[in-house]
Amino acid sequence: MLNRIDLRGQVPSPAELRAALPRAEVDVDAVLHHVRPMVEAVRERGVAAVLEFGERFDGVRPATVRVPAAELDRALAELDPAVREALEESITRARAVHADQRRTDTTTQVVPGGTVTERWVPVARVGLYAPGGLAVYPSSVVMNVVPAQTAGVASLVVCSPPQAEFGGLPHPTILAAAALLGVAEVWAVGGAQAVALLAYGGVDTDGGDLAPVDLVTGPGNIYLTAAKRLLRGLVGIDSEAGPTEIAVLADASADPVHVAADLISQAEHDPLAASVLVTTSPELADAVDVELERQVAATKHAGRVRTALGGRQSGTVLVSTVDDGLTVVDAYAAEHLEVQTERAREVAARVRAAGAIFVGPHSPVSLGDYCAGSNHVLPTGGCARHSSGLSVQTFLRGIHVVDYSEDALREVAPKVVALADAEDLPAHGQAVTARLRG
C-alpha cells in the first residue's frame, strides 16, 4: 500500500534526503490572495465581516461571537461522563508535565555592583484555537490552555468554529473542555477570520468588547495558517502548522500490527496526513503493507485514510542499518516519531530532530495525543529541525533587567566607548561618559 524508497547501501547528504523523502505539498503562499481580503475585511468591518464569513464557510451565523456563560455551563453538565473523566485525566497529566517547565528568574552578578537579571513574564492575553473541521478536538483545548495557564497568562480566549448543528455554537465538547479548564471566554469563530478577529479585536453584536490578543496558538487548516503568516508581527504566533505526520523507525523486532495501526491513526486526521515507515527490514515492510490493507478496510474513515496512505507524502523507506535510519528520521524531522527497535530507549536518545518521540511498543502516538501528559501541538513540515512544540515557554517572555552602579559603569566605560567609536556611533559612548564627568 505504501510507496517505497530504497536507500539501502546509500549515504545521501541531508539535502538529498530532504528532497527524496515523502512530504506533503502545502503551499500557503497559494492561498494568501484568498485570505488577505478576509483579513482586511475583518480589520475594517469587524464582527460584521466575521459573521458573514461564518455564514459562508460554516453555514451558520451565531447570534453573538462570544459564547454565553450559560452555554458553557450547559455543555459541561451534559457532557458524557466517560468523556468528562477522560478529559479530567488528560488535564491532570498535562498539568503535571507542564508545571515542571516553568522557568524561574535568574540574576547574574557580572561585576561587583553590576547585575543582569532574566525575568520571565507571561504574555498578557492569548487566543487559543481549537479546530472543528473534519474532526472536533477538545483535546486541543487542553493542550493549548494548560501551558498558558501554567505560564500565568491572565486572559485567555478559546476560538472554535460555529456549528450549524448546534445553533451557531462551537461543538459542545469544545465548550465543555473550556469550562472544565475554567476558561470563561469562548468565541464562536473559525478559520482565517478567527485569527484576524483575535489580532484586531472588535465589538460583539450585543455591544460586548472582543479585546485583541498578543499571541495566537493552535493548529488549523491552510487558510488559518495563511492568516497567521499575514498577521505575524501584529500578534505573535506559535507556528505555521501543516498536515499531521508520523514516522516510525523500526527494525525486525517491531510488531507489524502495531506499526500499521499507528500509521493509520494519524492518516485518519486528513487526506494530506503523512505516514512514513523507516525500517531495516523488508520483511517488516511487507507485513505492514498486509496489515494496512486489513486494518484500513475495517476503520471508520477508510476513504480518508486510504487517500493519505497512498499519497506522495506517505511511504516506506528501506535502510541498511538503524544508524542509517537515524540519519533519515533526523533529516525528515517528523512531528511524531515512534522508535520501535531493539534497545529503543538507547536509539531514541540519539534522535536530534522530532516534535515528540514515542519510545518502544507501549508508547503509541495516540497516547501523546490525549493522555501521556506531553503536548500534542507540535512542529510539522520538517520544522522540528529548528522549532519546538507548544509548552509553557511559548507563553513566557524573557526580559533582561540591567542594574549597574556608578562604579561598575565607570570600570567598563572605556570599553563601551571603544566599541561605540569602532561602529561610528559616538553618541552611544557619550551617553556613558556624560554620567561620569566630574
The verdict on whether residue 244 carries a ligand-binding annotation is yes
Report residue 22's pLDDT band, with 50, 70 and 90 as the boundaries.
confident
d(Cα 116, Cα 368) in Å, to the nearest integer?
Answer: 38
Please give the mean pLDDT across all residues of the chain.
96
Looking up residue 219, the CATH number of its domain turns out to be 3.40.50.1980
**242 and 219 Cβ atoms separated by less than 8 Å:** no
Q: Are residues 52 and 191 in the same domain?
A: yes
The verdict on whether residue 369 carries a ligand-binding annotation is yes
Q: Are residues 159 and 276 in the same domain?
A: no
Region of poorest pLDDT, from 127-136, 213-222, 325-334: 127-136
Question: How many other CB atoms are found less than 10 A from the CB of residue 366?
Answer: 16
Q: Are residues 33 and 17 in the same domain?
A: no
Q: Which three cell numbers stand for residue 318?
A: 528501506
pLDDT of 36 higher than 80: yes
Q: Are residues 48 and 163 in the same domain?
A: yes
Across the range 122-147, mean pLDDT stands at 92
33 tagged catalytic: no
- Residue listed under C-alpha cell 527490514: 281
Q: Among residues 314, 357, 323, which one has the least CA distance to residue 251?
A: 323
Q: Are residues 204 and 250 in the same domain?
A: no
Q: Are residues 62 and 96 in the same domain?
A: yes
List the catalytic residue out of 291, 336, 338, 376.
336
336 tagged catalytic: yes
The verdict on whether residue 424 carries a ligand-binding annotation is no
Across the range 199-219, mean pLDDT stands at 97
Asked if residue 328 is part of any domain, the answer here is yes
Asked if residue 427 is part of any domain, the answer here is no
Report residue 438's pLDDT band, with 50, 70 and 90 as the boundaries.
low
The verdict on whether residue 204 carries a ligand-binding annotation is no
| pLDDT tens per residue, range 274-302 | 999 999 999 999 999 999 999 999 999 99
List the catalytic residue out of 71, 245, 291, 335.
335
pLDDT at 25: 76
Question: How many other CB atoms are found less than 10 A from the CB of residue 177?
Answer: 31
Alpha-carbon distances, residue 182 vs 147, 155, 175, 289, 371 (angstroms): 14, 11, 11, 45, 19
Across the range 120-138, mean pLDDT stands at 91
Number of domains making up the chain = 2
pLDDT at 241: 86
Residue 361 structural domain: 4-25+242-390
Region of poorest pLDDT, from 22-31, 120-129, 398-407: 22-31
| pLDDT tens per residue, range 232-257 | 999 999 999 889 999 999 999 999 99
The verdict on whether residue 144 carries a ligand-binding annotation is no
pLDDT of 204 higher than 80: yes
Q: Are residues 145 and 258 in the same domain?
A: no
CB-count exposure of residue 302 (10 Å: 0-12, 13-18, 19+): middle
Across the range 70-91, mean pLDDT stands at 98
Asked if residue 399 is part of any domain, the answer here is no
Report residue 190's pLDDT band, with 50, 70 and 90 as the boundaries.
very high
Q: Are residues 272 and 358 in the same domain?
A: yes
3-state secondary structure of 164: helix
- Residue listed under C-alpha cell 547528504: 13
Q: Are residues 125 and 164 in the same domain?
A: yes
Q: Are residues 355 and 368 in the same domain?
A: yes
d(Cα 111, Cα 270) in Å, to the nearest integer?
Answer: 56
pLDDT of 316 higher than 80: yes
Q: How many CA atoms lie within 13 A of 295 on its CB side?
A: 21
pTM, whole model, 2 decimals?
A: 0.94
pLDDT at 134: 66
Q: Are residues 250 and 323 in the same domain?
A: yes
Domain boundary among 237, 267, 297: 237
Q: Are residues 374 and 357 in the same domain?
A: yes
d(Cα 238, Cα 231) in Å, to the nearest integer?
Answer: 12
| pLDDT tens per residue, range 95-118 | 999 999 999 999 999 999 999 999
